[in-house]
Amino acid sequence: MRYFESRVIANQRVADDIFVLQVERNSAEVAAGQFYMLKSWDKELTLMRPVSVFKADESVLWFMYRVVGSGTSRISALMPGDKMRLLGPCGNGYPCDALKGRIAVVGGGLGIPPLCETAKTLKARGATVDAYLGFRDALFAVEDFEPHCENIFISTEKGEEGYRGFITDLLSPENYDTVITCGPEVMMRKVASMCAMTDTRCYCSLEHRMACGIGACLGCSIRTKSGMRRVCKDGPVFLSSELEW
């Protein structure tokens, strides 16, 4: 993990309030499911904001984010050539080397982008990946999953695209060796309970308000079956069987 300055390559709106930021990678490390703390400000806002890695190649890091408040709004104003600061990679990521066979990645909303780099890594390690992507209305990032997935299932709340309803309606965990999920807590809890019923291994990527992002302030601590854990340092990925929701 390191703190470094990078330059913005592009920062484009891809759906209503959703943007994709591309920054120079500057040899930064990345593992599937990890995140970076980002900032484009010096004085006004002190805390960096956590955003997961959406995609990475040799020279570029991609982040997909929804504008929800002051930090993401400032980031959305960045222009190509602007400088910003990154701290990372943070967190544990998914244990992709240990995951074999058929794997379902189940994402909802802005939990979808981090699963793209995960699907790519799992496929490169020989796993067969199906993606279950649940959207509120407008689709995003689906084409980024296509090279890495055997099947892609889509749902929207009102049926504008794909299945009408919740993405969990389409999932049968017993068809998979492992299920990986990232998104709203209500969705992940449902996925975790479906996996518990079928005895399928399930990993959840948790979201929590973060201050330091590096395990120092304990501000993101949660209770688990093996004691208190920091989402930023011990997570964000946890086995669902470890979680006390």
Which residue, 65 or 176, has its beta carbon nearer to ligand FES? 65
Alpha-helical segments (H) within 114-220: 114-124, 142-145, 185-198
HEC string for 26-94: CCCCCCCCCEEEEECCCCCCCCCEEEECCEECCCEEEEEEECCCHHHHHHHCCCCCCEEEEEEEECCCC
51 binds, among ligand FAD, ligand FES, none (CB under 5 to 8 A by kind): ligand FAD
**DSSP label of 14:** E
Residues that bind ligand FES (CB under 6 A): 210-213, 215-220, 230, 232
Which residue, 114 or 134, has its beta carbon nearer to ligand FAD? 114
Which residue, 14 or 68, has its beta carbon nearer to ligand FAD? 68
Which residue, 167 or 210, has its beta carbon nearer to ligand FAD? 210
Residues 57-96 that bind ligand FAD (CB under 6 A): 64-66, 68-73
Shortest gap between Cβ of 126 and ligand FAD (angstroms)?
Answer: 26
Interaction of residue 33 with ligand FAD, rule CB under 6 A: no
Complete edge-to-edge strand list for the sheet that includes strand 237-239? 163-164, 151-156, 128-135, 102-108, 178-182, 201-205, 237-239
Which residue, 148 or 230, has its beta carbon nearer to ligand FES? 230
Cα distance between residue 25 and residue 83, in whole Å? 13
Beta partners for residue 182, in sequence order: 107, 205
* Of 80-88, 164-172, 207-215, 237-245: span binding ligand FAD (CB under 6 A): 207-215
Query: How many angstroms separate the first and last alpha carbons of the chain?
Result: 29
Interaction of residue 133 with ligand FAD, rule CB under 6 A: no
31 binds, among ligand FAD, ligand FES, none (CB under 5 to 8 A by kind): none
